[in-house]
Amino acid sequence: MQTPALPPQGATERARRWRRLRRAVALPLAALALSGCTIPSFGASPGVTSSSKSVFHLWQGFSIGAVIIGGLVVGLMLWSIIRYRRKSDRIPEQSQYHLPLEMIYTVVPILIVFGLFAATLVVENKEVANPKTSVIVDVNAFQWGWKFTYPGTNALVYGQTTQNPVMEIPVNTNVRISLTSSDVVHGFYVKAFNFSRYALPGVDNIFTLRAQNTGTFFGQCTQLCGLYHSLMWFRVKVVSQSEYANWIASFNNPAAEAAAKAANKTTNQQTSSIVPSKPAYTNFGVN
Amino acid sequence: MTDLLKPPVHVEDHGHEEHHGPTGILKWITTTDHKVIGLSYTITAVIMLVIGGMFAEIIRAQLATPNGTLVSLAQYNELFTMHGSVMIYLFAGPFAFGALANIIVPIQIGAPDMAFPRLNALSYWLYLTGAITMLSGFFVTGGAANFGWVAYAPLSNSLNTPGAGADLWIGGLLLTGFSAIFTGVNLCATIFYLRAPGMTMFRMPIFTWNMLVTSILILLAFPVLTAGLIMLYADRHFGTHIFSVAGGGVPVLWQHLFWFWGHPEVYILALPFFGMVTEIIPVFSRKPVFGYKGMIFATLSIAALSLGVWAHHMFTTGVVLLPFFSIMSLLIAVPTGIKIFNWIGTMWRGEVWFSTAMLMSLGFLFTFLIGGLTGIYLASPPLDFFTHDTYFVVAHFHSVVMALVLAGMGGLFYWGPKITGYLLNERLGKAQFWFLFIGTQAFTFPLYILGLQGMPRRMAIYPHDPQWKGLNDLSTVGAVLIGISTIIFVINVVVSWKKYPAGDNPWDGHTLEWFTTSPPPHHNFYRLLQIRSERPTWDYNHPGHRALAHGQHEAHEENDSEVPAS
């Protein structure tokens, strides 16, 4: 028995196929373009800072690419699984190479990768830029809590585990965060900022945030730092600029000044020793 | 072509003489036969898979409620540390290059054994000792290591993690590390020096190629881990300050050393499983692997790139050069994509037979696609800042490693009959596949969403966000399904015990291992074939059907529907 010959692919047949393929690809793309601002969020959210919104758009761009490529590959897989499932003991054509095709699926992904890289660079440069600013917050992470100090002022916020220390920052202002750790590696992560950065011992990690909405946002440590890692919480409160000025001014009394001085002297060992052996509100059966 | 019709060359013929050696338990302890060592590796690695899997089930049970009280915070840290350590160090690697490569590579290239059989035995005993050493941490005061499988300094120093559990972890890792290095040396030497006549480099099966590249990566990466571990141990016990700020050291150095091993390690784990799938898909599609040479160059470029991407695990440290590591990481998508298209091209216009091994490979393909696509996000620093250390990352690498588990199970179903002489039950195998495949998706997909909603990894409890319970529960259900699939596998091994004789070539295989008996004799072959392509056994069984380039067509002279020789 002869191998069943492939159906003749004349020029007209090929053109028709090509047209069908073009329509299949063009229609969803056009629909996507027309829908404009209603590009799906793909599970992420825009967040509240200027760079979190850029990150969100980058996320959407990557996701559209992933859905198209993933859909194409799954489609090809399903087609070959269903169409070419074994029906007989026939030995199929033993084709092994198709150089033009192999070139296409090498070169096209390289181009896509450079496109993704270009988009990445644009957002990344925006995100790691450190423009001039007057609002600086020194964030110090320790086992297991956070200390926020504001250089040049008496403002100090300090809290352990679920005490939820609040970092207050003004809206629509560049806020430079200088992040350090007193002991192990911690992670400064605020979901609403779509951003995280390690707090490393011995490194002053500097980055700038510009919150565009007011509100209180939850943050927590994301890098495993020991026993109470799950409870190393904090909050970021974004307030209006006048409210922020009032808040800073509220620390201008001798008691707060003394507290700020004392806190700045606290060493790493001291902070560790005052952490309670159990979280205040519940017993998790800690040994 | 006509050459292949000649009777096979008789290289050696000692079918009449028996190999005399110890039997029973003494055979398993004293053997230097790569097949027996490989079986020891297989059994040990599958036990490790079960142990690591049980840790995972406890972790998922703990996370089923926001304030889980099944284990304490301290025990939880031990559990996920040892889950990761057992799965990465004691299961995935040894299963790939200790178990299947050890058994299959020498047979695939027509060698009588590994190049250094005694070193091979030493590798296994180091691995077993290392595994016991690491796991014995659970029985010492203070419990097992609890600083995560990455052991970031300074959390892993003697101040923050006192106790013998951490030292046993370091010791166990050193031992298994040396085991991996010796296996790497052995595989390299075997592949370079013990190939049968006619088995040129570009006639080697893809699995052997991938194992060669894996071995080279092992030799480049593992010594760095070993050095790092010794530094860590010195910091803990000899008063050095390599990773401590107080003594002028640099904590981030540990991350560099760890990931300089850790990222090539990802490919040390993945490439063998890619190789398994690349053996299985062509056989069950009755076609040669599509783009054989492209596949090899893709593997080589993955290996080359993998040495220059380690800092993508460290984007959020703020102390690495972002664009360089970003573009290098993104570029790995290209050779990986080539592999995926080649696998599809292999099935294209083939005759796809849904045996359990093939189903597992298809499950691998889908799951790995998901893991690969989500990996592209993580190569982009802004998106990594967004998702780093959240469940998105956990979901990403679990898609990848569960794909490897699917491929590994495929490998067991595919090569198991060769090494034992008996097939596994296909019906139970398919049931196992569906539990494993659906379980994997049910387990990982909710984790992607949880990560995007901001759930950090390595959290024993999430009392602040109880709304995450629903997705966590779904993930736990997935983990239970995966657990059931493992139980089905164990049942399958028991009920199929010596029940379904396989014959020499049950799948109409392509490569040399299907030419010898099942199980192969002491030195693997009574006779060898003339090797004229990368499919010697296929060429012998189907002389009129050699592989063709695009545009070439075979002139068929004889009947196509041959019965597979077995």
Cross-chain residue pair B550–A183, CB shorter than 8 Å = no
Confidence check: pLDDT of B324 > 70: yes
CB B147 within 8 A of CB B173: no
pLDDT at B554 (0 to 100): 62
Instruction: Kindly report the average pLDDT of chain B as a whole number.
Output: 91
Say how many Å lie between the first and final Cα of chain A, rounded: 75
The CA distance from B551 to A107, in Å, is 22
Residue type, B337: G
pLDDT at A268 (0 to 100): 41
DSSP assignment letter at B456? B
Tokens of A89: 């003991």
Tokens of A37: 């601002």
The CA distance from A185 to A199, in Å, is 6
Which residue out of B385, B508, B541 would a mutagenesis test of the A interface target, given it has the greatest number of A Cβ atoms within 10 Å? B385
Question: Using one digit for the tens of pLDDT, what is the confidence trace for B284-294?
Answer: 999 999 999 99
- Using CA atoms, how far residue A1 sits from A6, B1, B353, B508, B556, in Å, is 15, 20, 21, 20, 9
Share of chain B above pLDDT 70, in %: 94
Q: Which residues have a Cβ under 8 Å from the Cβ of B171 and sit 6 or more positions away?
A: B130, B133, B134
Question: Using one digit for the tens of pLDDT, what is the confidence trace for B416-458?
Answer: 999 999 999 999 999 999 999 999 999 999 999 999 999 999 9
DSSP assignment letter at A251? T
Cross-chain residue pair B319–A44, CB shorter than 8 Å = no
**How far is B80 from chain A, CA to nearest CA, in Å?**
11
Residue predicted with more confidence, A104 or B557:
A104
Give the residues across from A145 on adjacent strands.
A142, A160
Residue predicted with more confidence, A11 or A48:
A48
Q: Name the residue with tokens 């013990």.
A: B194
Does B305 contact A at CB distance below 8 Å?
A: no
Which domains does chain B show, CATH number per domain? 2-541 (1.20.210.10)
Judging contacts by C-beta atoms under 8 Å, the chain A residues touching residue B561 are: 1, 88-91
pLDDT at B39 (0 to 100): 94
Interface of A with B in 237-266 (CB under 8 A): none
Question: Using one digit for the tens of pLDDT, what is the confidence trace for B261-286?
Answer: 999 999 999 999 999 999 999 999 99
Question: Using one digit for the tens of pLDDT, what is the confidence trace for B471-501?
Answer: 999 999 999 999 999 999 999 999 999 889 9
Confidence check: pLDDT of A11 > 60: no
Tokens of B49: 């898979």
Q: Which fold has domain A135-273?
A: Immunoglobulin-like (2.60.40)
Question: Chain B residue closest to A207 (CA)?
Answer: B318
Which residue out of B334, B450, B510 would a mutagenesis test of the A interface target, given it has the greatest number of A Cβ atoms within 10 Å? B334
What's the complex ipTM? 0.90
Using CB atoms, which residue from B362, B383, B457 is nearest to A81?
B362
Question: Chain A residue closest to B245 (CA)?
Answer: A202
The CA distance from B528 to B439, in Å, is 43
Q: For residue A259, what pLDDT band results from cuts at 50, 70 and 90?
A: confident
Question: Using one digit for the tens of pLDDT, what is the confidence trace for A120-171?
Answer: 999 999 988 888 888 999 999 999 899 999 998 889 998 888 888 999 999 9
Residue type, A118: A
pLDDT at A14 (0 to 100): 65
Distance of CA B164 to the CA centre of its chain: 29
The CA distance from B317 to B330, in Å, is 19
For chain A, domain boundaries: 13-85+100-128, 135-273
Say how many Å lie between the first and final Cα of chain B, rounded: 21
Q: Mean pLDDT over residues A189-196, rounded?
A: 95
Confidence check: pLDDT of B315 > 90: yes
pLDDT at A266 (0 to 100): 54
Q: Mean pLDDT over residues B521-536, rounded?
A: 90
Q: What are phi and psi of A43, to 5 degrees?
A: 90, -15
